[in-house]
Structure 1
Amino acid sequence: MEKIYFIGINGIGMSGLAKIMKIKGYDVAGADLSRNYVTEELESLGIKVFGEHLGENVVGSNLVVASSAIKSENPEIKKAKELGIKIIKRGELLSILMNKEKGIAVAGTHGKTTTSSMLGSLLLDIDPTIVVGGILPEIGSNSRCGKTDVFIAEADESDNSFLYLTPETSIITNIEADHLENHGCLENIKKSFVQFMEQTKGEILVCGDCPEALELAKGRKNIKTYSINNEKSDIIATDIRVENFKTKFKVIIDGEEFGEFELSIPGNHNIQNALPVIYLAKKFDISKERIAQKLLKFKGAKRRYDILHSDKIRIIDDYAHHPTEIKATIQGAKTIEKNKTIAIFQPHRYSRVNFLLNEFKGSFEGVDEVILMPVYSAGENNEFGVTLEKLKEKIGHKHCTIVEKNEEIAKIVASEKESATFLFMGAGNISSLAHTIAENIGRN
């Protein structure tokens, strides 16, 4: 039996592929410095997870898969090179699995996880393989190994690993400046998306509300656009309204009304996410009634407006960390949250805060208070001189405070006298804090 070793196995993308390879019959092991909520699932499948990166761990492996966050000086990388073991990136392994199937790749700066999870949920009836960047409640995991040739995957532009893919169909949710530590500038990101479009063998579904994506789609064959604002798009949402905490809208496809649908997750961005999903579900001959039923039941992927506690105090856990994502999450929240809303934000990476500093201006408009926590470094050094004071000034919210310690956050939540919603936002370990506080409230 071939042995595959994953360096950084607890990462949300890495763990999904590790599980699939184990189910396919490979001997799978890996290492990660920290345990998280996927570690136990990996171990329950018989996957050995080492808590330390040691060269001896890779001995006997036929293939090593390394997360893009792993540096060349990693002792397991060094040992694999010394032993002549082939080393590939996560995106390469995904392409090996996906490119021979009917691949549906979901790309974009924001919305990939929700859109791919929603698509996976709606197409479960046809038994697809799914690899997404979040935990999908319907399958209790970030991946599943299906019996058909339909393969749904999130396509990651952050390190250009999506350029390994040659999908049958692709969705592009938006294109924006992000991960500039890798790309340098927006123009380079656009060039990558052009290549991704050219590598798509069939239909490309492009968000018509994103000028950059729409610009790249002009003049190309096999393009379908979707929109909540552009009436010239092929797939349109109209009559949008919020009733009883549900977002309702009608869908028009190629000029004909297809039906009315409801979402349990808030925000116009989630209507946008739903449009290509509805279109593809229809193409797979899933009935309008079944689509409506599944959409209403869809509660989002883990850490995408994840309601951890709901009473007088509501605790929401959300992955938003880019200014555009923050604005979208707050816009969605304000459609359903009628109480005082406090955003607790953990900035992600010094490089990202530095590159996007000006974009944070006004990004928290709509919440009553903003609490800034220390930057989650993700292993970076602060070579940019980033400070929370600079970020606070740029955000420009009149009720913005800096809180350094988790214990202080817990006290702030516990001392709240009014009905209030606390939005815990960020891509780092702020999620653990949100869960701990929600659990404490539940016990008390």
Structure 2
Amino acid sequence: MRIDVPDVIPPAEELGDVHFVGIGGAGLSAIARIMVERGISVSGSDSSDSALLRSLREAGATCYVGHDAAHLDGVDTVVVSTAVRETNPEVAAARARGLRLLPRSAGLQSVMCDRDVIAIAGTHGKTTTTSMLAMALDGCDAEASYAIGAEVEALGSNARDGSSRLFVAEADESDGAFLVYTPLFAVVTNVDADHLDNYGTESAYHEAFRTFLGRIRDGGALLAYADDAGSAALADEAERRGIETIRFGDHSWADVRLADLTIDSDRSSFVVWSRLSGTDERLGTVHLAVPGRHYAVDALGAIAAGLRCGFAFDDLVAGLSSYVGARRRMESVGASGEVRVYDSYAHHPVEIAGDLEAARALAGSGRLVVCYQPHLVSRTRIFGEAMGEELGAADEVVVTEIYLAREDPDPEVSSELVAGAVGLPPENVHRAHDLVAAVKTLASIARPGDLVLTLGAGDVTTVGPALLSVLRGRSNGRS
């Protein structure tokens, strides 16, 4: 649902007691955690219990399972997830009582309004780049705050209220949230049309990023990935507007560039060169404990931002050295019977291509088996064929039904749009009407040496653990 952003967003300390509807989501839980750490009274509800809810309870928040108007007793402000429906009883009660209603974007802005924000935006790579920058700054003892759209194992959380003025924030464009923030520095990883259910057209999506340029504070800067056409065009526009512009990427003319990239089965390394000091300087080598070119590029963006903030390259790299991934970003789920299982959030053709490239490196000489759950009817309608084409890089593909999320089904749009475009022999493309069937299919085709990758932004994340349970049962002699 859409909640209007107020003309004036009060600082978090002026919101009174705050209740979050959908507190178990990555976005709202991050804001709630920061408020709790600032001593603000926080409560929230979600449809089911989760590790995030349990963690927030331990931190001091009151978290309910299920939605009920009674949860709003004593509440002054209600922050609402975009995934919540208009019929939610807590939202209806908040309206009836005249409580302050804020969307997620305004909730995040309320905790960032007095900070120097580094906003990470872009169609793909936001979570990874934000996570990497937060870790890089930890290597510099920067004491930065951060709000990330996923849990990061090495950080122990998806959010923190740091003691310095620096605040690293994942700036989501899906619902226009990034247009609420006022960053000092903006990092744009790429601009590749998505979320057309909200924007309507590709040109409107690109226009939102141009509007985002106007949110950068005076004296700030844009850091843009030079090798992506969309972000490169944005960099040109920023220069025309007189905004300091730093380009990072592979090109010899990039201000911060990557060279000598090496990708092994479980790691990547590359050399960083920089012109930020006025001369072309070789800064040193970065070693990442994750494979894949897109991870190297995300790390380069994080390093460029850290350098622009004045931090030393060696300290930034030291912080990055312990990065092992964010939740649901090529995350290892486990292994059984020489079958390894990974899970990732990829749900756009470009993201699918990047993750399959990384997964292929991880698979080595083994087969790559992918289970993909399309996300949203609107996205499948527009990108379904391209999704299927990218999935053709696997050896075996299982396609489930569409995860509807906030949308209603459309009889004219099905996962067949995806499955029918996979460029593999028919016997290597499997349809699954639900996730239980997906697990059975995967169990029937998986063999020693395979790497199984579950992909999608929905509940396909449950498939990996269920598959491992079946495989372990077999190895223990159970049917």
Q: Distance in 1 between matches of 2:317 and 2:76?
A: 46
AA aligned opposite 1:215: A
| Corresponding position of 2:315 | 290
How far the C-alpha of 1:279 sits from its partner, in A, is 2.0
Counterpart CA distance in 2 for 1:120 and 1:195 is: 26
Contact 1:346 1:374 in 2 (8 A): yes
Query: Which deviations, in whole Å up to 9, do the C-alpha atoms of 1:112-167 show, x marking residues without a partner?
Result: 00000010111122111110001011222111111111101100100001111010
Go from structure 1 to structure 2 and tell me whether the alpha carbon gap of 1:389 and 1:243 turns closer, same or farther (over 3 Å shift).
closer
C-alpha distance in structure 2 between counterparts of 1:433 and 1:348, whole Å: 15
| Preserved CA contact (<8 Å) 2:380 2:415 | no
Q: In the alignment, does 2:101 pair up with 1:79?
A: no
| Residues in 1 aligned to 2:468 and 2:320: alpha-carbon distance in whole angstroms | 27
Partner SS state of residue 87, structure 1: strand
From 380, 389, 393, the counterpart of 2:420: 393
- Once the two structures are superposed, the pairs formed by residues 213-228 of structure 1 within 5 Å of their partners are 213-219=231-237, 220=239, 221-228=243-250
Structure 2 residue identity aligned to 1:322 = H
Is 2:400 the counterpart of 1:378?
no
- Residues 99 and 167 of structure 1 are in contact (CA less than 8 Å); yes or no, is this contact kept in structure 2? no
Name the residue aligned to 2:266.
245
Match of 2:374 among 337, 342, 347: 347
Shift of 1:70: 2.2
1:82-139, CA deviations, whole angstroms, 9 ceiling, x for partnerless residues?
2111101110121122132110000011100000001011112211111000101122
Give the match for residue 208 of structure 1: 226
Q: Is the CA contact 1:67–1:90 (under 8 Å) kept in the aligned structure 2?
A: yes
The one-letter code sitting in structure 1 at the alignment partner of 2:25 is G
Q: Runs of 5+ in structure 1 lacking a partner? A: none
Q: Using a 3 Å threshold, how does the CA distance of structure 1 residues 13 and 185 change in structure 2: closer, same or farther?
A: same
Residue pairs, 1:172-211, within 5 angstroms: 172-201=188-217, 202-211=220-229
Among residues 152, 162, 165, which one is paired with 2:178 in the alignment?
A: 162
Aligned to 2:21: 7
Q: Does 1:328 align with 2:346?
A: no
Q: Give aligned-pair identity as a percent.
A: 29
CA distance in 2, matches of 1:150, 1:441: 46
Of 431, 455, 478, 1:402 maps to 431
- Is the aligned partner of 1:65 residue 2:90? no
Measured in 2, the distance between the counterparts of 1:161 and 1:31 equals 22
Which runs of structure 2 are paired with 1:104-115 in the superposition (5 Å)? 104-115=118-129
TM-score (normalizing by structure 1): 0.95
Contact 2:264 2:291 in 1 (8 A): no
Shift of 1:78: 1.8
Specify the alignment match of 1:316 in structure 2.
342
Contact 1:246 1:262 in 2 (8 A): yes
Q: TM-score scaled by structure 2?
A: 0.88
Q: Is the 8 A contact 1:175 1:190 kept in 2?
A: yes
SS of 1:199's equivalent in the other structure is coil
- 2:302 aligned with 1:280: no
Describe the SS at the equivalent of 1:233: coil
User: SS of 1:19's equivalent?
Assistant: helix
2:27 is paired with a residue whose SS is helix
| 1:433 matched residue in structure 2 | 463
Pairwise CA distance, 1:335: 2.5
1:65 touches 1:87 (CA, 8 Å); kept in 2? yes
CA distance in 2, matches of 1:129, 1:145: 5
Per-residue deviation at 1:33? 1.2
Higher alpha-carbon deviation: 60-69 or 104-113: 60-69
Answer with 395-404 or 184-193: which moved more.
395-404
Q: CA deviation at 1:293?
A: 3.2
* Secondary structure in 1 matching 2:182: coil
- After superposition, the C-alpha distances for 1:27-69 in whole angstroms (9 at most, x for unaligned) are 1111111223311112222322222222222132111111122
Where do 1:16-27 residues align within 5 Å?
A: 16-27=30-41
User: CA offset at residue 412 of structure 1?
Assistant: 4.2
* Alignment check: 8 A CA contact 1:98 1:167 kept: no
- Cα contact 1:136–1:142 (8 A) shared by 2: yes
Q: What's the counterpart of residue 106 of structure 2?
A: 92
Show the counterpart of 1:39: 53
